[in-house]
């Protein structure tokens, strides 16, 4: 009977792998977005590029996530002609957590 032995991965190697995969995933998303839309706003990318990837301030991190979200919506609408993202949350689940005004309508949070 053959037994498989696994060498324990060092903590440093594990961190380096995680960090390198995060960089690769982010770059892949940006490149795919650029290929898909050909309209990625260069000013957003230029602004985000002024920060170190692993040390984005909260505001810029939200901008990055918003950009990723818009890319996901773009794919659903333009490729699949759907009003919602494939495998995404139903819009009814997105309940505001505070009161806000939008087009004369008041939305109350929980």
Nearest to 49 by CA among 24, 71, 30: 30
Position 14 scores a pLDDT of 84
Q: Cβ distance 27 to 35 under 8 Å?
A: no
How far is it, in rounded angstroms, from Cα 19 to Cα 12? 11
**Count of other CB atoms within 10 angstroms of residue 30:** 18
How far is it, in rounded angstroms, from Cα 20 to Cα 75? 26
Region of poorest pLDDT, from 5-19, 50-64, 88-102: 88-102
Position 45 scores a pLDDT of 78
The SS3 call for residue 102 is strand
Q: pLDDT of 37-82, one tens digit each?
A: 665 567 787 888 898 878 889 888 888 888 877 777 777 777 777 7
Region of poorest pLDDT, from 2-6, 11-15, 58-62, 87-91: 2-6
- Give 17 or 43, the one with higher predicted confidence: 17
Q: pLDDT of 18-42, one tens digit each?
A: 888 888 888 887 777 777 666 556 7
Share of the chain above pLDDT 70, in %: 66
Mean of the pLDDT values across residues 1-26?
78
Whether the per-residue pLDDT at 1 is higher than 60: the answer is no
């Amino acid at each position: 009977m053959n037994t498989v032995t696994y060498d324990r991965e060092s903590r440093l190697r594990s961190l380096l792998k995680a960090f390198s995969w995060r960089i690769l995933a982010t770059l892949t998303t940006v490149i795919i977005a650029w290929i898909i839309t050909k309209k990625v706003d260069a000013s957003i990318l230029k602004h985000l590029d002024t920060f170190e990837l692993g040390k984005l301030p909260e505001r810029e991190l939200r901008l990055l996530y918003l950009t990723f979200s818009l890319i996901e919506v773009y794919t659903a609408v333009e490729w699949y002609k759907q009003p919602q993202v494939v495998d995404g949350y139903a819009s009814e689940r997105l309940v505001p957590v505070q009161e806000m005004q939008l087009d004369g309508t008041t939305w109350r949070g929980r």
